Amino acid sequence: MIYTLENARPLAAIVLIVLVAWAFSENRRKFPFLLTLGALAVQATFVLLLFALPNSQAALTGVNAAVDGLASASDKGAQFVFGYLSTSDATLYPSPGADADRLFIFGFRVLPLILVISALSALLWHWGILKWITRGFGFLFEKTMQLGGASALAAAVNIFVGMVESPIVIRAYLDKLTRAELVLRMGGGLATVAGSTMVAYAISLQPVLPTAAARRPAAPVISAPAGILLARIMIPEEGERTQYDYASDLKYESSMDAITTGVRDGVMVAVNVASFLIVFVAFVWIINNLLSLAPPVDGGPLTLQRIFGYFFAPVAYMLGLPWGEAQAAGGVLGTKLFLTEFLAFFDLRDVPADQLGERGRMIMTYAICGFANVASIGIMTGGMTALMPERRSEILGLAWKALLPGFMATLMTASVVAALPMGLVSP
C-alpha cells in the first residue's frame, strides 16, 4: 500500500467541508461534536468494509454479477418491446459489424432497468426484506448520530429509494418534524440517489470503469451519514428530539400491488430522467453554441464544461486528484451541480483517458453520486409540498439551504475514499 500527498489532501478537504457547513450554520455556537465523530466513524467503517475486508472483493464480484443479471433481465424485456433497437449486440443489428458503442441507446438500455429495479424494490419492501434492512440502518443512524426514529428511518430509506419517495415511508410523522429535522430530511435526500438510478449510472459507466456496478451502488450508503452531519451543522436541533418508533406508512395490499405500484413509480422516474436529459442536453448545446462566438481560450473553444472546469478545479484538487486532472474533473462537478448528475456521469464517461486517470475517475463517481443539483430542487419541493401542503412556505424556504449539505456530502464521501492508501483502493 502506498500513501502520498494525494491521499492526505482529502483529509484536509473533509475538515474544510465541515468548516464551510459551520460557516453557514444558523447557530455556530451549537456545533454537534458527537454527531461529527459518529458520522465520520460510520463513513469510515462503511468504506473500510467496502475496500479493506479480506473477502470484500468476492462479495463485490457477486454484486457485480447480480447487477449484470438484472441488466440482462431488463434487456430481455426491452428486446421483446423494442426489438433490435434495445441491444448493443452488433450481430443482432441490421448492419452486422457496426460499432457497438454507437448502438448504445440510453432510452432502451437504461430506462427499462429503472422500471425493473423500482418494481423489485417495492416487492422486497412488501416482503419485509428491504423494510428490515432499512430498520437496521435506521437503528445504526439513531444510535451513532442521535437521530429520532422517523428521521433515522427516512435517512436509511434514502439509500434505496428516491428523495420524493422516502418521505412517504414516514408520512404519519411529517407534520411532527421540527425545522432541523425537515432540512435534514431534504439534505439527506439530495445527498443520496435511488437504487434504480444508481444501477443505471453504474451500467452507463461500465465501458470505462468495469467495476462501477460493484462499488458505486454503495456510494449512497457512505454519503447518507455525511448528509445528516452537514445538514445538522447548518441547522442544529434547538430542542429535544422527539422520539418516534419505526412504523411506516408505506404499505402494499399484495405482491402484485407492490409490483404494479413499483412499475408505476418507475415509469414516473424514467419519464422524469428522460425529460430532464432531453431538456438539459438541449440547453447545453444552445449555450455552447453561443459560447463558440467568443474567442478561443487556452487554444480551444469556450464551452460550459470548460467554464465549470476552471471554477471547480480547486475543489477537485482538494479531493485528491492531480492538478493536471483537476480541470476535467471540475467540469464534471459543475455539470452535476448546475445541470443533473445523469449528464455528469455521461460527461465523466466521455472524458479522455489522458485527461482523467482511473483513480481520478473512481473518485469522481463518488463525488457526483447524489441528487444535489438545481433541477432536483424543483422535483424535491414538488413532491414534499404535495405531502405537506400546510408547510409549503417552510419547505420552499429550506430547499436551497438543503442543496449545499447535499452537494458537499458526496464530496466528503469522495474525500474519505480518496484518503485511503492507493494499494487499498483500486478502480
Digit-coded pLDDT (tens) for 250-303:
678 889 988 898 788 777 767 766 776 677 777 777 888 888 888 887 777 888
Cell of 25: 450554520
Look at the pTM and tell me if it is higher than 0.75: no
In this prediction, residues 108-133 reach a mean pLDDT of: 74
Higher pLDDT, 325 or 248: 325
Across the range 113-132, mean pLDDT stands at: 76
Residue 427 in any domain: the answer is no
Lowest mean pLDDT among 19-28, 93-102, 197-206, 358-367: 93-102
Q: Bridge-partner residues for 300, per DSSP?
A: 297
Confidence of residue 408 (pLDDT cuts 50, 70, 90): very high
Residue 425 belongs to a domain: no
Domain contains 296:
yes
pLDDT digits (tens, 9 = 90+) for 347-398: 888 888 888 888 888 888 889 888 888 878 877 777 777 767 888 888 888 8
Do the domain assignments include residue 149?
Answer: yes
Q: Domain span at residue 165? A: 5-418
Checking if the pLDDT of 329 tops 70, the result is yes
DSSP string, 74-136: HHHHHHHHHGGGG---GGGSSSTT--GGGG--HHHHTHHHHHHHHHHHHHHHHHTHHHHHHHH
Residue 358 lies in a domain: yes
Q: Is there a domain that residue 426 lies in?
A: no
Cα–Cα distance list, 111 to 2, 39, 63, 85, 323 (Å):
40, 34, 20, 13, 36
pLDDT at 92: 60
pLDDT of 402 > 60? The answer is yes
Q: Could you tell me what percent of the chain has a pLDDT over 90? A: 5
pLDDT band at 315 (very low <50, low <70, confident <90, very high): very high
- Structurally, how many domains does the chain consist of? 1
Does some domain include residue 218? yes
Residue 334 contacts residue 307 (beta carbons within 8 Å): yes
Question: How much is the pLDDT for 189?
Answer: 81
Amino acid at 284: V
Q: What percent of the chain has pLDDT over 70?
A: 62
Q: Which segments of 339-423 does DSSP mark as H helices, in order? A: 341-350, 358-367, 374-387, 392-418
pLDDT of residue 110: 61
What is the structure's pLDDT at 345?
Answer: 83
Say if 423 falls within a structural domain.
no
- Examine the pLDDT at 25 and tell me if it is beyond 80: yes
